[in-house]
Amino acid sequence: MRGVLRLARRANVVGWLFVVFLAALAEAGIQLFELHDSVSPPSETLPALVEGLSSGELSGALRTTLGAYLGGLAIAIVVGVALGIVIGSSRLLLDASFVVLEFLRPIPAVALIPLAFLFFGTGVEMRRYIVAYAAVWPILVNTLYGVRGSDRILHEVALASGVSRLGRLVRVTLPSALPSIATGIRVSASIGLLVAVTAEFVFGSGGIGAYMQRQQLAFQLPEMYAAVLLTAVLGYTVNVALRLAERRIVHWTGEKRVRWP
């Protein structure tokens, strides 16, 4: 296990060095080919990011985005896990809901933004429910298959030992499904952030997306790319935090879960 973690840390170092290399390459390319009118070089983007955060404008946009994003993700986790457990625990419910789930799941959340606008306006509530819709599907599907894939022998042993249905759910089904649930949450976290920023960009209703839109219209490229960079940093931070939580909570799955640094 320690060897795998050591390799993961080494891969992280190599990954960051590669990011620095790409940034230097982008800087050189933009300066060499004089692309300042369409692309902001890192030497201008990073100061714009620091300035935006210190002035409070970009940090305020970040707080607005986090409010909609984390609220929507929380709704998706509760609904996705609950529905996944209920549907996955019953073959009848799985068969009955299959068509509905497969019909709704491919619909892009962005396509529902105009409909959400009619019901909720352009505020945080609209973005929160759009994020929840986009993020619920990976959680629901992973929970469902995690429940269906739980160890049948353990279920039979628990049943023979007189463990109640609720007890089997808590002691057998959930521990077996947790790795799949954790994976679904990590996937949903990335999707939810993308949808939250997109909704803000479309309606200009506050947040990082609206900040991007304003800077784009004003042809302030360093500030616009600073918001893009902040979104990437936020997504990376959330993903790392969820990976660390997953390793601590789902620790019994061992080395086979540590495949990506």
44 and 28 in one domain? no
Domain membership of residue 89 as a residue range: 40-257
16 and 89 in one domain? no
156 and 45 in one domain? yes
74 and 10 in one domain? no
Task: For 56-89, write each residue's pLDDT tens digit.
Answer: 999 999 999 999 999 999 999 999 999 999 999 8
Q: What is the pLDDT of residue 9?
A: 64
222 and 100 in one domain? yes
102 and 51 in one domain? yes
Query: CA quadruple 237, 240, 243, 247: dihedral positive or negative?
Result: negative
pLDDT surpassing 90 at residue 11 = no
6 and 97 in one domain? no
Q: 233: closest CA among 260, 197, 199? A: 197
Domain count of the fold of the chain: 2
Computed over every residue of the chain, the mean pLDDT equals 87
Q: What is the pLDDT of residue 123?
A: 80
13 and 124 in one domain? no
163 and 95 in one domain? yes
116 and 220 in one domain? yes
Q: What is the pLDDT of residue 2?
A: 58
Query: CA quadruple 44, 50, 55, 61: dihedral positive or negative?
Result: positive
Task: For 36-63, write each residue's pLDDT tens digit.
Answer: 788 899 999 999 999 999 999 999 999 9
pLDDT surpassing 70 at residue 135 = yes
14-15-20 Cα angle (round to 5): 95
169 and 202 in one domain? yes
- Kindly list the distances between the CA atom of residue 179 and the CA atoms of 4, 15, 57, 166, 232, in Å, as whole numbers in the listed order: 18, 25, 39, 20, 25
23 and 123 in one domain? no
Q: State the Cα torsion 30-36-37-40 to the nearest 10°.
A: 90
Q: What is the pLDDT of residue 234?
A: 96
